[in-house]
Amino acid sequence: MTIFLATALGVFLIGLHRLFLGPRRTARWVREHFVATDYDLVPRALLDPRRPGPPPAAYRIEEMQAVADAAWKGDWRAAEAYVEAAGRDWDERWSRTELLQQVAGDDDEWLEAWRTARPENCDAATVRAGLMVHQAWEIRGSEYADKVPRERMARFKAMLPAAITEARKAALLDPENPGPWVVMVTAARGAQYDHDQFQPLWDGLASRAPHHYSGHWQALQYWCAKWFGNDRLMMHFAEQAVRKAPEGSPLAGMYLHALEERAKRHDGPAQPVTRAAKKRLEEVAASLAEVAPDNEHLPALRHLLAHHMLRARMHAPALEQFRLIGPWCGAEPWRKGGDPVVAFELARGTAAKLSGVAPSATVTTTHRIGH
């Protein structure tokens, strides 16, 4: 019994050491000895906390600004052409629809003129329905339901069914377009739709655009525990997204969003460190490796992937993600503690320290001579 207790105590103390002293020593090493360039990482002095990734190409920014300026001057034709130019690339078309919703949020006279001139236009009707959803959430605010004033909650609950009705009308104008279905899926949780009511909306979206990124994100929100699902349903939905993600699609990133939701709910690690959990992260990484570098969702997903790889003690793969991320550190995982530069530097330094990857011999030698 004495030997057993001594052994158990030893294991317990080793666990405490790893839990508390290990991270502290690593953090100290990062502060005092970590040199990013030794591991083919961007120097700390070049880290940029303003955004998670590089800004859109200049020509795209100019194009978006031109569409917005034209709309505010009353020219809805530029907006119509802007959306139609996306063709049947439904993710891109939705991204452009969302921009028009933002433009209309500041001034929607041009949108009403567009709808009057083109009553048969699905995009115009979808922008209006989406704007109604956005305005409803602005009225409600982000507080918990019991903190929202009764009058605001009543307006919120009245606007969402009306938005869904408008989206259903829009869907009739172009039966192939998934945009109205994204609006309906988005509004469903605020409209308190149960599973039987929600499923036809999801089926309608998935039948038109089975890999629609924003549509999946909105559905993931519905299935999370804070709305109308639970951890099991949410993770099942996210794992299905990983399995069916086609080459070049960022859809596998749904799994990372699900991990974030679960981590927030439980205020700690999103999952136990198991072989299956590591394998799933490897699958996500392999899928994201096929995504075009300029995809708008990719930078934020790489940050989440690196973050959760670190939590899963996948240090070498996390280090590779930090190399791909480059200087951008203005992403959600690093903003939680206040200073994203400090948090990002600690994270990538930890990945370097524990990865087993040897620092560059040439750079290391130069660094030592400098001392």
The pLDDT-based confidence of 64 (bands split at 50, 70, 90) is very high
Mean pLDDT, residues 246-273 taken together: 87
pLDDT digits 0-9 by tens, 207-217: 999 999 999 99
pLDDT at 342: 97
The pLDDT-based confidence of 21 (bands split at 50, 70, 90) is low
Contact 161, 106 (CB under 8 A): no
- 63 or 264: which leads in pLDDT: 63
Of the candidate ranges 46-55, 151-160, 302-311, the one whose mean pLDDT is the lowest: 151-160
Of the candidate ranges 11-20, 195-204, 251-260, the one whose mean pLDDT is the lowest: 11-20
The pLDDT-based confidence of 13 (bands split at 50, 70, 90) is very low
Residue 6 reports pLDDT greater than 60: no
Alpha-carbon separation of residue 332 from 143, 285, 289, 324 (angstroms): 20, 19, 21, 17
pLDDT at 158: 87
pLDDT at 41: 97
pLDDT at 271: 63
pLDDT at 146: 74
Helix (H, G, I), strand (E, B) or coil at 48: strand
Helix (H, G, I), strand (E, B) or coil at 328: strand
pTM of the entire predicted model: 0.89
Looking at the chain, the whole-number percentage of residues with pLDDT higher than 70 is 90
Please report which residue ranges of 195-253 form alpha helices under DSSP H.
195-208, 213-223, 231-244
Beta strand spans in the chain (E)? none
Looking at the chain, the whole-number percentage of residues with pLDDT higher than 90 is 80
48: which strand partners?
A: 328
pLDDT at 364: 39
pLDDT at 5: 54
Q: Report the mean per-residue pLDDT for the chain.
A: 90
Please give the backbone phi and psi of residue 48, each rounded to the nearest 5 degrees, phi first: -125, 110
Residue 20 reports pLDDT greater than 60: no
For 287, the token pair is 């899928």
Residue 52 reports pLDDT greater than 50: yes
Report, in angstroms and rounded to the nearest whole number, the Rg of the chain calculated over CA atoms: 24
For 156, the token pair is 């919120």
Residue 16 reports pLDDT greater than 50: no
pLDDT digits 0-9 by tens, 268-316: 665 677 899 999 999 999 999 999 999 999 999 999 999 999 999 999 9
The pLDDT-based confidence of 103 (bands split at 50, 70, 90) is very high
Spell out the residues 6+ positions from residue 296 whose beta carbon is closer than 8 angstroms to its own.
56, 95
Which class for 247: exposed (0-12), middle (13-18), buried (19 or more C-beta within 10 A)? exposed
Measured between alpha carbons, how far is 223 from 226 in angstroms, rounded to an integer? Answer: 8
328: which strand partners?
A: 48
Spell out the residues 6+ positions from residue 285 whose beta carbon is closer than 8 angstroms to its own.
305, 309, 317, 321
Taking alpha carbons only, the member of 306, 354, 294, 295 closest to residue 331 is 306
Which H or E run contains 28? helix 22-33
pLDDT digits 0-9 by tens, 329-359: 999 999 987 899 999 999 999 999 999 999 9
Mean pLDDT, residues 71-91 taken together: 97
Residue 148 reports pLDDT greater than 90: no
Spell out the residues 6+ positions from residue 184 whose beta carbon is closer than 8 angstroms to its own.
164, 167, 168, 171, 201, 204, 205
Torsion angle in degrees (nearest 10) through CA of 347, 352, 354, 356: 160
The residue type of 16 is L
Residue 257 reports pLDDT greater than 50: yes
pLDDT at 48: 97
Contact 239, 287 (CB under 8 A): no
pLDDT at 12: 46
Residue 46 reports pLDDT greater than 80: yes
Taking alpha carbons only, the member of 86, 67, 69, 170 closest to residue 123 is 170
